[in-house]
Chains A and B, each alone.
Chain A
Amino acid sequence: MESGIFDRIIMQLVTGLYWTLCLSMAASILSLIVGFVAGLIKSIHVPIITYVVNFYTYIVRGVPFLLLLFIIYYVLPFFNIRLSPFIAGVLSLVIHEGAYMTEIIRSGIESVEKGQHEAAHSLGLNYFQKMRYIILPQAIKITLPPLAGQFVLLIKSTALISLIGLTDLTRVGRQLTQRGENPFLIFFIVGIFYFVICYPIINISDRLERSV
């Protein structure tokens, strides 16, 4: 029995791990882009667009991720937009995590001293030059630790997409227990898989935070 544990459990879980990783990668990159653009907009106060972005971050941060996922997966088909669980998962992760990343990036930009903005202006730099050479290099240092923490939350949120039918790590674990495997063992191993992915990122985030 012990010899079969590898084929029976570990190999199955690795196939689930593949989907968890795909989902995390796609959602991380896209939500970082959303957060970056929306964070920039929020920091420069364009009248109407800033209100729209404020409304977006306010609503999304007040809503549980699972509810958002259900809304996207169940309400959109009502308007004849059918999404696969994977696409629905990526979309809801990007909307959800994008809002948090917006706040992180905005606070990073705003934490750079006002004098730096004024100095850049007085040197005759335009907005893009100012951001590229003065503000962002300083802001990145501050935003990196919370951003890494947010990536960990994103990876952990992917587990919920198993509830709409994507066979990710958590769902494979659930299926194995339905076949009568020991749930303690299975979910412990599933936990170890997530731990191996997330703990290094948490560790880096903690270290960066201490060094800032």
Chain B
Amino acid sequence: MNYFFQWRIIEKYSDYFYRGFFNTLSISAISISLALIFGIILAILKRSEIKGLSWLSGGYINLIRSTPLLVQVYFVYFGLPYININISGYWCGVIALVLNSGAYISEIVRAGLESIPNGQVEAAQSLGIDKRQTYIYIILPQALRKIIPPLIGQFTYLIKDSSILAAIGIYELTNTANVVHARTFKPIEPFVVALLGYIIIVTILMISANILKKKFSLSGY
């Protein structure tokens, strides 16, 4: 097959690709930070002794895990304007990603919290430390060690999931490739750029996850 890869297309639309790359990164970074907070709250609610709260949190997590992200994105993007809440597509995307990722992160956080032996809590109690302080000073610092590697894994999933926001017209990397393809009628060049963009991001995250995993692993744990 004699096909020549046309660098000119990439050069001509390089601004588009920079914007797409930046949007993918910024949406993912904002979403993961908010999702982490949301996920920790969900995890703590699920462990709560009040039956109603733990049931509600568990139900929410199962509902999110059992439905496609695209349906959740549509629910937010088309639903909110219907009840006269008008926010930009970018923030609708962030909301949907936070609602979705929060559920997955809460499972990671919960597994981390549950891995802390009960003796730690009992020891804290016998020292007269109250419940809130036990969480903040005893459980969370130890749990965080176990949470960080899978959390980076979740971050890579979130970056890949952010491509779904192409469906609501946000100019992230996948949509940018699609737009350039529609303008130039050349599919190979833009999609190769997008492909490499994702692989670079995911590879960097995978390497950093491995480094952190080694750094945080303690002997005996």
Instruction: Give the number of chain B interface residues (Cβ < 8 Å).
Output: 39
Interchain CB contact (< 8 A) of B163 among A59, A64, A184: A64
Are B163 and A67 in contact (CB-based, < 8 A)? yes
CA distance A6 to B62 in the complex (A): 26
Contact string against A for B residues 36-80, beta-carbon threshold 8 Å, 1 for contact and 0 otherwise: 000000000000000000000000001101111111101100110
Query: How far does the Cβ of B92 sit from chain A's closest Cβ, in whole Å?
Result: 12
Are A64 and B74 in contact (CB-based, < 8 A)? no
Residue numbers in B under 8 Å from A70 (CB-CB): 174, 177-178, 181, 191
Residue numbers in B under 8 Å from A17 (CB-CB): none
Residue numbers in A under 8 Å from B164 (CB-CB): 64, 66, 160
CA distance A174 to B187 in the complex (A): 27
| Stretch from A28-36, A40-48, A74-82, A87-95 forming part of the interface with B | A74-82
Interface positions of A from 125 to 174, Cβ below 8 Å from B: 152, 156-160, 162-163, 170, 173-174
Interchain CB contact (< 8 A) of A75 among B74, B166, B187: B187
State whether A78 and B188 are in contact (beta carbons under 8 Å apart), knowing that A62-B198, A183-B75 are contacts in the complex.
yes
Residue numbers in B under 8 Å from A109 (CB-CB): none
CA distance A194 to B74 in the complex (A): 14
Interchain CB contact (< 8 A) of B167 among A61, A79, A156, A163: A163
State whether A183 and B161 are in contact (beta carbons under 8 Å apart), knowing that A67-B195, A156-B67, A174-B74 are contacts in the complex.
no
CA distance A190 to B191 in the complex (A): 31
Tell me, yes or no, whether A198 is within 8 Å of chain B by CB: yes
Are A64 and B188 in contact (CB-based, < 8 A)? no
Interchain CB contact (< 8 A) of B78 among A158, A177, A194: A177
Interface positions of B from 66 to 110, Cβ below 8 Å from A: 66-72, 74-75, 78-79, 82-83
Tell me, yes or no, whether A187 is within 8 Å of chain B by CB: yes
Interface positions of B from 131 to 175, Cβ below 8 Å from A: 159-164, 166-167, 173-174
Residue numbers in B under 8 Å from A183 (CB-CB): 74-75, 78-79, 82
Contact string against A for B residues 189-219, beta-carbon threshold 8 Å, 1 for contact and 0 otherwise: 0010011001100110000000000000000
Are B70 and A64 in contact (CB-based, < 8 A)? no
Residue numbers in B under 8 Å from A182 (CB-CB): 82
Residue numbers in B under 8 Å from A66 (CB-CB): 163-164, 166, 174
Instruction: Give the number of chain A interface residues (Cβ < 8 Å).
Output: 39
Tell me, yes or no, whether B1 is within 8 Å of chain A by CB: yes
B residues sitting closer than 8 Å to A (CB atoms) are 1, 62-63, 65-72, 74-75, 78-79, 82-83, 159-164, 166-167, 173-174, 177-178, 181, 187-188, 191, 194-195, 198-199, 202-203
List 15 A–B pairs whose Cβ atoms lie within 8 Å, in order of A's numbering: A62-B198, A62-B202, A64-B160, A66-B174, A70-B178, A71-B187, A74-B187, A79-B1, A163-B70, A170-B71, A184-B83, A187-B71, A188-B75, A191-B71, A202-B66
A residues sitting closer than 8 Å to B (CB atoms) are 59, 61-67, 70-71, 74-75, 78-79, 152, 156-160, 162-163, 170, 173-174, 177, 182-184, 187-188, 190-191, 194-195, 197-199, 202
